Chains A and B, each alone.
Chain A
Amino acid sequence: DAGVIQSPRHEVTEMGQEVTLRCKPISGHNSLFWYRQTMMRGLELLIYFNNNVPIDDSGMPEDRFSAKMPNASFSTLKIQPSEPRDSAVYFCASSFFTTNQPQHFGDGTRLSIL
Chain B
Amino acid sequence: RKEVEQDPGPFNVPEGATVAFNCTYSNSASQSFFWYRQDCRKEPKLLMSVYSSGNEDGRFTAQLNRASQYISLLIRDSKLSDSATYLCVGDGERGNTPLVFGKGTRLSVIA
Contacts and interface: CB of A to CB of B under 8 A. Distances in A.
A43 B32 CA distance: 18
Contacts of A110: 41
B31 A100 contact: yes
Interface residues on B, range: 20 to 34
Contacts of A91: 43-44
Given A100-B32, A102-B49, A107 B43 contact: yes
A43 B46 contact: no
Interface of A: 31, 33, 42-43, 45, 48, 56, 91, 98-108, 110
20 contacts: A31-B98, A33-B98, A42-B102, A45-B100, A56-B97, A98-B97, A98-B98, A99-B92, A99-B95, A101-B32, A102-B34, A102-B49, A102-B89, A103-B98, A103-B99, A104-B46, A105-B43, A105-B45, A107-B42, A108-B43
Contacts of A31: 98
Contacts of A43: 44, 87, 101, 103
A33 B87 CA distance: 17
A106 B43 contact: yes
B68 interface: no
A48 B102 CA distance: 18
Interface in B66-111: 87, 89, 91-92, 95-104
Contacts of B99: 99, 102-103
Given A45-B98, A106-B43, A107-B43, A99 B91 contact: yes
B36 to A, nearest CB: 8
Contacts of A105: 43-45
Given A105-B44, A106-B43, A108-B43, A99 B96 contact: yes
A47 B34 CA distance: 21
- Indicate the member of B43, B87, B91 with the most A CB atoms within 10 Å: B43
Given A43-B44, A103-B46, A105-B44, 12 more contacts: A42-B101, A45-B98, A45-B100, A56-B97, A91-B43, A100-B32, A100-B91, A102-B89, A102-B99, A103-B98, A108-B43, A110-B41
